[in-house]
A and B are shown apart, each in its own frame.
Chain A
Amino acid sequence: MLEFMLRRTLIALPVLLLVSLISALIMEMVPGDPAVLIAGQSATDLELAQIREQLGLNRPFLSRLFDWYVALARGDLGDSILLNRPVTQAIVERVPVTLALAGSALLLTILLGVPCGVLSAVYANTWIDQALLTFSLLGVSIPNFWLSLMLIVLFGVMLDWLPAGGYIPFADDPLGWVKCLILPAFSLALLQVGLLARITRATMLEVLQQDYVRTARAKGLPVLMVVGKHAFKNVLIPVITVIGISFGLLLSGSVVIETVYSLPGMGRLLANAVFGRDYPLIQGGLLVTAAVLVLLNLVVDVLYAMVDPRVRYGKR
């Protein structure tokens, strides 16, 4: 087990190095002078010089890259131009909101996705299966920011049941916190619900054809009992897979969802950085999310190995 973990960590290291390099390269892709883009056409020469100094644009690329790594080693991602403070600080402040959103979306995904997948498998090729399949296809086809806008119109404006946007911290008002997360979490979850349902269905179908399930059925155990007791344990594996895949999708989605619902999370921070061409913040945000995902995949792989011993000795 320890050897497996070490091996996986060793593979992750060069990936992390490349990830940091790609993040550092983003500003190099800007055609022309990034300072002009940031300050606008009407900026004075002094302002431009200041921004160039701040971003290190008046130095050669390699020296800038070197500084970026030196600072990175100290956990310093530079200063945001728009917010005028350290990027790390700005990101850390926003993390709780994004975690609350992603966490509740993940919870919704599992609560809706697993039952849908199990139902589809048990009633495979009936109208229930077809309906759930159509639903999951719709989930991956509907743009979630558009769905959010429509949900805001329906529940926020026309029915006035839920807030149309904004965020209330849990400590201030727990009920308000739940209310303001319902619509964003649902909009974010929809894509993954279909994904999880389809993976669960496929796994379940495979399991239901196993001999031990047939034996259990032949003994006269009711379907529900067989599914619940014998087959369900195997569903844990797709759930872990989807948690691994989902987090990337959730973080991507949060950029759009947090913007639409005006939630003060990391996603909206990065969206604003994009609008304001705040390159240090864009680079820092990219690096942090990618690093988190690489580490998360590591954890998921280890979890796999714990749930399913076959993985440990496999070719992986």
Chain B
Amino acid sequence: MASVDTLATPERLEAARPPSIWRKLLRHRLFMTGATLLLLMVLLAIFADLIEIRPPEKMQVRLRFKTPDFAYPLGTDNYGRDIYSRLVHGSRLSLAIGFAVALITGILGTAIGVAAGYFKRLDGPLMRLMDALMAFPAILLAIAIAAALGPSAMNAVIALAVVYTPRTARIVRSTVLVVRETDYVQAAKACGARDRWIIWRHVLPNSMAPLIVQLTFIFAYAILAESILSFLGVGPPPPIPTWGNMIAEGKDYLREASYICFFPGVAVALTCLALNLLGDGLRDVLDPRLRVQIG
């Protein structure tokens, strides 16, 4: 009975189907490396209170500039504070700022991008404004806004969201322009569907892939940019540790104790690397045609 071998049993149909997005992501080696690394960082941030050795703001004047050893795994800084504990706690604000920027940018960028891409009349004015915001060097504009608003975590988020929203809006708009012309959207229009319904049911779900990829990269830029803002003194102010202001405080003691700066920088680099790997993997799987985008 040879024909049994060619029967389409449910198991065989399952095996013949192209692998799902999750399956593809799980098989993507670089994506999984990034995901693991990021998960580790997030766990550090969540359980910071449990894995700290000492309170991150506790100063011990007699224990200043201790090089890394068993009791102080990453040494102590110029106030005798434990660098390891500060690093673990710093991950909270750094990750939170990065995430908040990605979230706000995603919402605003989608709203503006959809409005500009879907309604032709809004396209010109909205995109000229976005062009103008993008004409400024990203970090420079963020620094100027943060300097005007005053140094705080909230203002850093606002400054970075202003800088990265236009870049997101542009990407969403370009996808929406394509989706708007597809047959299913035209068909929905012909049936008399309202714009709100079409946007919600058809345009948004089909414009998500490039957006998600872009937001992963923006998460990474935001963490990098936050460290620059803190470094220049317009980010979240000390004594609350962020990776950026730890480097800023350590830079005056570079000659004697370079390890104060070293570890927070490694933390920033690892987190950004994780997010970039994640973004690359998502792009490979979700939207292979996309190329490198840098803001």
Any B CB within 8 A of the CB of A280: no
Instruction: Point out the residues of chain A lying under 8 angstroms from B143, CB to CB.
Output: 255, 270-271, 274
Given the known interface contacts A143-B224, A255-B143, A259-B232, the answer about A137 and B277 at a Cβ–Cβ threshold of 8 Å is yes
Q: Whose C-beta in chain A lies nearest to the C-beta of B294?
A: A195
Given the known interface contacts A146-B268, A294-B135, the answer about A286 and B232 at a Cβ–Cβ threshold of 8 Å is no
Whether A150 pairs with B265 at a CB distance below 8 angstroms is yes
Whether B148 pairs with A30 at a CB distance below 8 angstroms is yes
Instruction: Point out the residues of chain B lying under 8 angstroms from A143, CB to CB.
Output: 224, 227-228, 247, 265, 268-269, 272
List 11 additional contacts besides A140-B220, A153-B258, A259-B232; criterion CB under 8 Å.
A19-B132, A26-B145, A30-B148, A137-B280, A146-B227, A149-B247, A199-B291, A248-B138, A274-B234, A282-B147, A285-B140
State how many angstroms separate the Cβ of A115 from the closest Cβ of chain B: 18
The CA-CA distance from A179 to B274 in the complex, in Å, is 34
Any B CB within 8 A of the CB of A275: yes
Interface centre among A21, A202, A271 (most CB of B within 10 A): A271
Instruction: Point out the residues of chain A lying under 8 angstroms from B272, CB to CB.
Output: 140-143
Any B CB within 8 A of the CB of A253: yes
1/0 contact string of B250-286 vs chain A (CB within 8 Å): 0100110010011011001110110011001000000
Any A CB within 8 A of the CB of B188: no
State how many angstroms separate the Cβ of A81 from the closest Cβ of chain B: 13
Whether A282 pairs with B144 at a CB distance below 8 angstroms is yes
Total A-B residue contacts, Cβ distance less than 8 Å: 151
Q: Which of B218-233 contact A (CB under 8 A)?
A: 220, 224, 227-228, 231-233
State how many angstroms separate the Cβ of A169 from the closest Cβ of chain B: 25
Any A CB within 8 A of the CB of B62: no
Which residue in B137, B138, B145, B247 is a CB contact (below 8 Å) of A146? B247
Q: Interface residues of A toward B: which range? A: 35 or more
Q: Which of A147-177 contact B (CB under 8 A)?
A: 147, 149-150, 152-153, 157
State how many angstroms separate the Cβ of B283 from the closest Cβ of chain A: 12
Any B CB within 8 A of the CB of A138: yes
Any B CB within 8 A of the CB of A186: no
Given the known interface contacts A26-B144, A141-B269, A149-B251, the answer about A199 and B292 at a Cβ–Cβ threshold of 8 Å is yes
What is A's interface to B at a CB cutoff of 8 Å? Answer: 14-15, 18-19, 21-22, 26-27, 29-31, 137-138, 140-143, 145-147, 149-150, 152-153, 157, 191, 195, 198-199, 202, 245, 248-249, 251-253, 255-256, 259-260, 270-271, 274-275, 277, 279, 282-283, 285-286, 289-291, 293-294
Instruction: Point out the residues of chain A lying under 8 angstroms from B178, CB to CB.
Output: none
The CA-CA distance from A31 to B145 in the complex, in Å, is 12
The CA-CA distance from A195 to B133 in the complex, in Å, is 22
Instruction: Point out the residues of chain B lying under 8 angstroms from A285, CB to CB.
Output: 140
Which residue in A142, A149, A202, A286 is a CB contact (below 8 Å) of B136? A286
Q: Whose C-beta in chain A lies nearest to the C-beta of B268?
A: A143
Any A CB within 8 A of the CB of B49: no
Whether A146 pairs with B144 at a CB distance below 8 angstroms is no
* 3 closest cross-chain pairs (CB), A and B: A18-B132, A146-B265, A141-B272
Instruction: Point out the residues of chain A lying under 8 angstroms from B232, CB to CB.
Output: 255-256, 259, 271, 274-275
Whether B231 pairs with A256 at a CB distance below 8 angstroms is yes
State how many angstroms separate the Cβ of B216 from the closest Cβ of chain A: 12
A–B pairs, 12, beta carbons within 8 Å: A15-B128, A15-B132, A18-B128, A26-B148, A141-B220, A141-B270, A142-B265, A143-B272, A145-B227, A153-B258, A199-B292, A293-B135
Instruction: Point out the residues of chain A lying under 8 angstroms from B277, CB to CB.
Output: 137
Any A CB within 8 A of the CB of B141: yes
Which residue in B131, B140, B150, B265 is a CB contact (below 8 Å) of A286? B140
Any A CB within 8 A of the CB of B61: no
1/0 contact string of B234-253 vs chain A (CB within 8 Å): 10000000000001000100
